Amino acid sequence: MPLHNREIADTFIKLANLLEIEGANPFRVRAYRNAARVISSLAPRVSDLVAQDKDLSELPGIGDDLADKIRTLIKTGELPLLKQVEARTPPILHELMKIEGLGPKRVKILYQKLGIRHVKDLQTAIKQGRLKKLSGFGEKTEQKILSGIQHLNQYTKRMKLADAAPVVDSLLRYMRNIDGVEQVECAGSYRRKKETVGDLDILAAAKDSEKIINAFIKFDEIAAVITQGTTRASAHLHSGFQVDLRVVSEKSYGAALLYFTGSKEHNIAIRKIAVQKKLKLNEYGIYRGERQIGGRTEEELYKQLGLAYIEPELREDRGEIIASRKHRLPKLISLKDIRGDLHCHTHATDGSASLEQMAKAAEQLGYEYLAITDHSQHLTVAHGLDKKALIAQIKKIDRLNAKLQNLVVLKSMEVDILEDGSLDMPRDILNELDLTVCSIHSKFSLPQKKQTERILKAMDNVCFNILAHPTGRLINHREPYSIDMERILHGAKERGCILELNAQPDRLDLNDIHCKMAKDIGAPIVISTDAHSPSQFSYMCYGINQARRGWLEKENVINTRPLKDLKKLLNRK
DNA sequence: GCCGTTTTCGGCCCGACTGTTTTCAGTCG
């Protein structure tokens, strides 16, 4: 079984943690962390690159040494250096570093002085009062570690973006009502519209920062205040989120917004540019010597660095800085570009509303077209339609279309792709449809080659138009099934098939990296909500977020086209 | 360990908060 990029990255993170505990050169430690980040956000699998004999040292942050280590790890499943380190330092210690308040230095002291290896040892030591006897450890530190242990699982999981949205809304409403707040917004991965967010970074501009901090900690959603200073504070909310608030003056607001929006990698990269230009960039502004030459807005900061403005969704250090310098940034798609939805369900299968209700809701959104895509018979849990039921629905749609003024309802179906790659509905009836949306709902654990070929064979059927939720993953719930995405994308392009970006907040499938890959290969995308009720049409914005993170422009997405053009794209015969 | 429009050696982003200190180390983002 070839190693996943995630597993390679985890190995390097573990190595970095253990080396840090041993007190290794911090820049060497950073190099391993960087490598882990590069590998985990890489679209192709590193094991495939190795199999193809590609030069890994061309990857940013990977030199000859790391390239060699990666090859060894993939070929043997082991890393000799990690083995050596583990012989000196118990590997379990790297688990202790996950506790809030514990870093490499303290973990090392706990291990050397008290022999602590596990969370349990730590709890016992605290109970016996052995911890606060150590030099450098006191009452407060002990309490912080105890609460860190309690929160170990509670606050470590990243939350879905859609779950954060209402929390952020109420937080921002509260902040805007505080007297003296001039500007406020949520920065961090929330502003970058990442599919999941860790904590919420709130940034405010005000003259008297302390007054704002004091008002903030009275917010009634706050469960516990973690830290409180004169310009920043952080707290746990009852909803499970951690909030970090930072208050700056207006002349620093843009610089602080840039800094707190991140990503960390993007920040490091642009600060390097500042250094090259003999400037200093921090969260207060950009400086030539002692003199501040910008910082009020993000736009002026990018300009000072010789860069075009970079949208938050692109700030991941995945090529946006070079594109910005060359004025080749994409003109990202936006919600208003969307003309229709090509995936939704009615109560004929597992939806909760009628055909008419769904059509009416789509019409109210100003859509030109809506495809009704109820499930096929193989998906019995959703009461999939058989041939007879589909014919009845087709007739019903014809009657409805005769009455509709501004919307065209397209006849379609979400057809199961069976294990052998055939479609769960005979050709003669599929020919009656305007389009088909095809998807996998069974046999998730086939080996990668088989799963890939299953999909490619299904695409050989000229009735196949759209591959829905291409990897089947459910965020925080189910891993994607194993497919060769590059092969699928090339296969789709060659055959005139389209890949869906499913906008359900727990799917967002394709992910951002795959969207960019599709764009680079030239495979078309459709953004669909898979709505099971009229209100779920509003999920389109989450699909748009993901598309923007994947560098997609209006031209890359087929449901930005007028119906006439769309129909041409859907006709493979 | 990586990297180069000053450099193949000598740098590597930068600052706030906390606790336990007598001036700063550790942690975090």
The CATH class, in words, for A335-570 is alpha beta
Task: Please determine, for residue A162, whether its predicted confidence score (pLDDT) is greater than 80.
Answer: yes
Task: Please determine, for residue A154, whether its predicted confidence score (pLDDT) is greater than 70.
Answer: no
- State residue A216's pLDDT score: 94
Residue-wise pLDDT for A291-337, tens only, equals 888 899 999 999 999 899 999 999 988 889 989 988 899 999 999 99
CA-to-C1' distance for A69 and B22, Å? 46
Question: Which of residues A181 and A271 earns the better pLDDT score?
Answer: A181
Strand B reaches within 7 A of the A57 CB: yes
CATH superfamily of A5-155: DNA polymerase beta, N-terminal domain-like (1.10.150.110)
Task: Please determine, for residue A353, whether its predicted confidence score (pLDDT) is greater than 80.
Answer: yes
CA-to-C1' distance for A64 and B9, Å? 18
In this complex, which residue's CA is closest to the C1' atom of nucleotide B16? A232
The beta strands (E) that lie in A362-506 are given as: 369-372, 408-411, 414-416, 437-439, 466-467, 498-502
Residue at token pair 């014919």:
A391
Strand B reaches within 7 A of the A106 CB: yes
Strand B reaches within 7 A of the A242 CB: yes
- State residue A253's pLDDT score: 94
CA terminus-to-terminus distance, chain A: 39
- pTM to 2 decimal places: 0.82
Nucleotide nearest to A278 in CA–C1' terms: B6
Strand B reaches within 7 A of the A263 CB: no
Strand B reaches within 7 A of the A282 CB: yes
- State residue A237's pLDDT score: 87
Strand B reaches within 7 A of the A289 CB: no
Within residues 10-29 of protein chain A, the ones with CB less than 7 A from nucleic strand B are: 25, 27-28
- State residue A156's pLDDT score: 57
Strand B reaches within 7 A of the A98 CB: no
pLDDT, average across residues A92-113: 85
CA-to-C1' distance for A301 and B23, Å? 35
Within residues 498-537 of protein chain A, the ones with CB less than 7 A from nucleic strand B are: none
Report the phi/psi class of residue A307: left, alpha or beta, with left for phi > 0 and alpha for psi in -120 to 50. beta
In this complex, which residue's CA is closest to the C1' atom of nucleotide B1? A28
Residue-wise pLDDT for A370-403, tens only, equals 999 999 988 877 788 999 999 999 999 999 999 9
Using CA atoms, how far residue A560 sits from A79, A393, A534, A556, in Å, is: 49, 26, 20, 9
CA-to-C1' distance for A266 and B14, Å? 14
Q: Which SS3 state, helix, strand or coil, does residue A410 take?
A: strand
Strand B reaches within 7 A of the A228 CB: yes
- State residue A525's pLDDT score: 98
Nucleotides of B under 7 A from a protein CB: 1-3, 6, 11-21, 25-29
Residue-wise pLDDT for A447-470, tens only, equals 889 999 999 999 999 999 999 999
Q: What is the distance between the alpha carbons of residues A287 and A298, in angstroms, rounded to a whole number?
A: 14
CA-to-C1' distance for A274 and B1, Å? 23
Within residues 311-330 of protein chain A, the ones with CB less than 7 A from nucleic strand B are: none
Residue A374 token pair: 């109820």
- State residue A1's pLDDT score: 60
- The structural domains of chain A, with segments of one domain joined by +, span 5-155, 160-325, 335-570
Nucleotide nearest to A102 in CA–C1' terms: B27
**3.20.20.70, 3.90.1150.10, 3.30.460.10, 3.40.50.2300: which CATH number matches A160-325?**
3.30.460.10
Residue-wise pLDDT for A190-218, tens only, equals 999 999 998 899 999 999 999 999 999 99
CA-to-C1' distance for A312 and B8, Å? 37
Nucleotide nearest to A61 in CA–C1' terms: B2
Residue-wise pLDDT for A403-442, tens only, equals 999 999 999 999 999 999 999 999 999 999 999 999 999 9
Residue-wise pLDDT for A221-237, tens only, equals 888 888 888 899 999 88
Within residues 173-212 of protein chain A, the ones with CB less than 7 A from nucleic strand B are: 188, 199, 201
Cis peptide before A430 (omega within 30 of 0): no
Strand B reaches within 7 A of the A63 CB: yes
Q: What is the distance between the alpha carbons of residues A474 and A497, in angstroms, rounded to a whole number?
A: 23
- State residue A155's pLDDT score: 53
Nucleotide nearest to A109 in CA–C1' terms: B26
| Phi, psi values for residue A164, rounded to 5° | -75, -30
Q: What is the distance between the alpha carbons of residues A105 and A126, in angstroms, rounded to a whole number?
A: 18
CA-to-C1' distance for A29 and B24, Å? 23
The model's confidence at residue A548, banded by pLDDT at 50, 70 and 90, is very high
